[in-house]
Amino acid sequence: MSQALVTILVDALCALTVRDAAASQELVHNAVQELPTHAGLRFLYGSLLMDAGNNEQAIENLRHAYALDPANPLIGIQLGLSYFDAGKIQEALQIWQAADQESASTDVRAYLSGLVALAKGDIQDAKLQIESGLSIGSANQALAVNMRTLCAKIDHMLQADGPDDADTGHILLGQYSRNGGEM
């Protein structure tokens, strides 16, 4: 990795820590220009674009990252969330189901199964799937936090709305995807 690229990435991380999303997005974009075939950079850039509400560019970059590293389920999760946020539910389901097939990690597979169940409107199954992933434990702390947060949100919606239905699942998943996988 060139010194210039390392400097760009350090600057981008600094911008993220002070919550300067525009600066970090621009810096990561510059890094992507330097290394256009780096899946991790494409993933980061797509995630930043998604957080900024730029779904079409987010999808483009996340799709590119996923093509570069289809075995990385975290890229598949984020790509599915960006599709879902853009109203492309079938595409989200296809990506999540493919990522589920690729993943060897039981906790990630449970999370993906929960997202699929939510997209299909089966809130009870989503909760069971995600809780099973949590009971296994996750080496990825960010994933574990997202799973706990999504479970809490499901519990809250079930208490507030009563019976599960497709509309409630879509509302919940829409809120979740608009926040980049965070509540």
- Predicted local confidence at residue 183, as pLDDT: 41
Q: Rounded to an integer, what distance in angstroms lies between the CA atom of residue 123 and that of residue 78?
A: 20
182 φ/ψ sector (left φ>0, alpha ψ -120 to 50, else beta): beta
Put simply, whether the predicted model's pTM sits higher than 0.85 gets the answer no
Percent of the chain at pLDDT above 90?
Answer: 16
Three-state helix/strand/coil letters over the chain: CCHHHHHHHHHHHHHHHCCCHHHHHHHHHHHHHHCCCCHHHHHHHHHHHHHCCCHHHHHHHHHHHHHHCCCCHHHHHHHHHHHHHCCCHHHHHHHHHHHHHHCCCHHHHHHHHHHHHHHCCCHHHHHHHHHHHHHHCCCCHHHHHHHHHHHHHHHHHHHHHCCCCHHHHHHHHHHHHHCCCCC
Percent of the chain at pLDDT above 70?
Answer: 76
- Predicted local confidence at residue 105, as pLDDT: 83
